[in-house]
Structure 1
């Protein structure tokens, strides 16, 4: 189950926005997450007698057969997240969001999701957390599962956006510098693999690069040499993106993607974490992630995790979570992504790790400055890529991964 979790405190705490009605609760939803959560279940914990905002958990809408188990997991996860950061929630607001299918309206969505709303309410009651409100948001309208009063919650639903009204939360978010960056679907599409024509070119490039890289790795000291070459290519690519480049030749992209499957090469690439270069690195990681197509789809875990890392470092938790979601979809056992996922969702801070990476970079630069001009230790003649005989697919598990 893919989850987005928010720590209990956010910039929305200052200034304070009071949620008095279900309409206020709907208004605040996209600002809690940074996007409009299409096809999602969101649970917002409330704490204390004044019902202050606590932790937030978002999951994809599960298929109906898994509703009981998913509801119980959402309840357990919100409790665990809240206790890790502060304290258990004293109440919960539930949001069920889905776009209607063709020929369907919002009321049909509301009715279809009503059993899931019941499962969620029962799951939270089972862990001792009462329901404060339960809302369905669909087709630009909202309905309350907890209120049967047609005066405030009419059968036809209430428009989310009402002419002539600016939600208080929108004004507060603008003051705090918080923005909503589109829907979850739109943000995920920005990390989707390239279209058919681009994918075909990239796959042919992989077929040419893989044999050459395998030959490099088979030589004495091959792994260290490939790792050093990957670092050189990363550094050059970041600088090129900083100079305005928006892409790389397919063979260079393939060589970088394959090189970053090595753990130490990837960790070396993570050192691009300070402005302004970190923004250039982010564009590079996004570009490379989208070039992982076909049998190389799971190779996207490395550039996606690097994108998530740089987003976390720069305070962009929306991008960090979406990139980690995609990374773990492609390779659920990718350790770097799993560790980042836990760190981001438990409210950890990256400063100590950043300091370690900066120190490693300075130490390496000092070692490099002390060497005599000429070939670096372990360096050998580079094998040119782009002249391989081709291969239909990579060796099992990719070229080399850690």
Structure 2
């Protein structure tokens, strides 16, 4: 699956500190691990993760932004004539050689039969919902092309900015894009003229930074219209492709095989992990958590005091073993029943909430195991647990989704975690990485922080 990110500050993660328990970021062990994690990801100051950028987009480039719609632009317009791209197609511009999508593959084989070719603007439009996981609304979407064979690689979806921030927003998006490639397709989705206005501003920023833009398409309702090309001509509008379009059908099949589906909106994606929906279900979930906490306390008392490890953390080692068992039980239940039983989900939520090192250990297991479909398993867990009781589990799902290329779900997870605990450092760090379009493979660096030891053995008498 192509990598999807959702960079762009929206106010989350900057609230005041909330009450914290032993697993909160105010705990010294959590603060220490956070500093280590930040160093792994190259953050220079672990306690100040670009607060200015969290509060708003970076400042404008000093260059004046007065380019027209391609006319006279310094980079030859949207087309590089040396690429031998055709002038115009009847419905949008064709992609020379075709673009290539690699569904559910992190490092795809270019000769894999799973490769899906996209040859025109209609194909790109059909691919957008499948690359980000839902049908965008009031958004800018960027598909970035990489490699000599025009692989559609990272994708970004961002909320349309306020009118006063359009230029800063556009410069920010262009900068993020340049981290991954120099060729892109741009889309705006809006029920008003704002989408086209923002798209035009983003196009200018891309051209100014030397990014080759294959197409810039404004979607309003069921109509997709093109911005004028460098010669001043505008192609006729086309209808937004239906689900039966060959590209959409192929991607739907690939996503279904991988346990994913395209949802109607970002709100629907958020609702899928928002926990119980009514008061009665919320109370029942609260009771399950209380029972799980009681089981956790009883398990702690049952740990023999003679058990020791080289690091001297008998209970932590027992917790890790128990948490691994819970995680694997969740996977087995999901494979068998297509859901995780609520009591089991509550036990896992309590286990990862109780000890930071246990949470990090499970995250490392999830990152290492690329065969298991962790996103649907952990999403099923969150459906039966109140969000306030599952901050660690929600962040864990966010990391799993991020590593799998699901930037939209990852962004929602970090937002939800920070809504219920604004000072939760791992969620803030992950959110900052997402905003700055850090590649998912960078998360593999988290494995160096897993200090787990082999299973504990009784100490010699």
2:441 aligns to what SS in structure 1? coil
Q: Does 1:116 align with 2:204?
A: no
> C-alpha displacement at 1:266, in angstroms?
0.8
CA distance in structure 1 between the partners assigned to 2:207 and 2:136 by the alignment: 24
> C-alpha displacement at 1:206, in angstroms?
5.5
1:95 aligns to what SS in structure 2? strand
Q: Which has the higher contact order (CA 8 A, sep 6+)?
A: 2
Describe how 1:207-356 pairs up with structure 2 within 5 A: 227=316, 230-231=319-320, 234-238=323-327, 240-241=329-330, 242-243=332-333, 244=336, 246-248=339-341, 256-261=348-353, 262-270=355-363, 272-273=365-366, 278=372, 285-291=378-384, 293=386, 297=388, 300-311=390-401, 316-318=404-406, 322-331=409-418, 334-337=424-427, 342=433, 345-348=438-441
Give the root-mean-square deviation of aligned CA atoms: 4.9
Partner of 1:182: 262
Q: Does 1:45 align with 2:45?
A: no
Kept in 2, the 8 Å contact 1:285–1:307? The answer is yes
Q: 1:153 aligns with which of 219, 236, 241?
A: 236
Partner of 1:167: 246
Describe how 1:138-149 pairs up with structure 2 within 5 A: 138-146=220-228
Q: Does 1:201 align with 2:284?
A: yes
Q: 1:286–1:44: structure 2 CA closer, same or farther, 3 Å change rule?
A: closer
CA distance in structure 1 between the partners assigned to 2:136 and 2:219 by the alignment: 10
Count, aligned residues: 331
> C-alpha displacement at 1:260, in angstroms?
2.0
Q: Tell me which moved more, 48-57 or 237-246.
A: 48-57
Q: Deviations over 1:348-374 (max 9, x none)?
A: 2667766986xx66x422x33x558xx
TM-score calculated relative to the size of structure 2: 0.55
1:260 aligns to what SS in structure 2? helix
Question: Which structure carries more helix by proportion?
Answer: 1
2:216 aligns to what SS in structure 1? strand
Any gaps of 5 or more consecutive residues in structure 1? 83-87, 99-108, 378-402
Kept in 2, the 8 Å contact 1:304–1:323? The answer is no
Q: Deviations over 1:317-352 (max 9, x none)?
A: 22x651354224432664444666649941426677
TM-score calculated relative to the size of structure 1: 0.61
> C-alpha displacement at 1:133, in angstroms?
2.2
> C-alpha displacement at 1:116, in angstroms?
1.4
Kept in 2, the 8 Å contact 1:31–1:179? The answer is no
CA distance in structure 1 between the partners assigned to 2:269 and 2:172 by the alignment: 25
CA distance in structure 2 between the partners assigned to 1:51 and 1:128 by the alignment: 17
Any gaps of 5 or more consecutive residues in structure 2? 8-98, 104-109, 306-312
Q: 1:63–1:352: structure 2 CA closer, same or farther, 3 Å change rule?
A: closer
Kept in 2, the 8 Å contact 1:305–1:336? The answer is yes
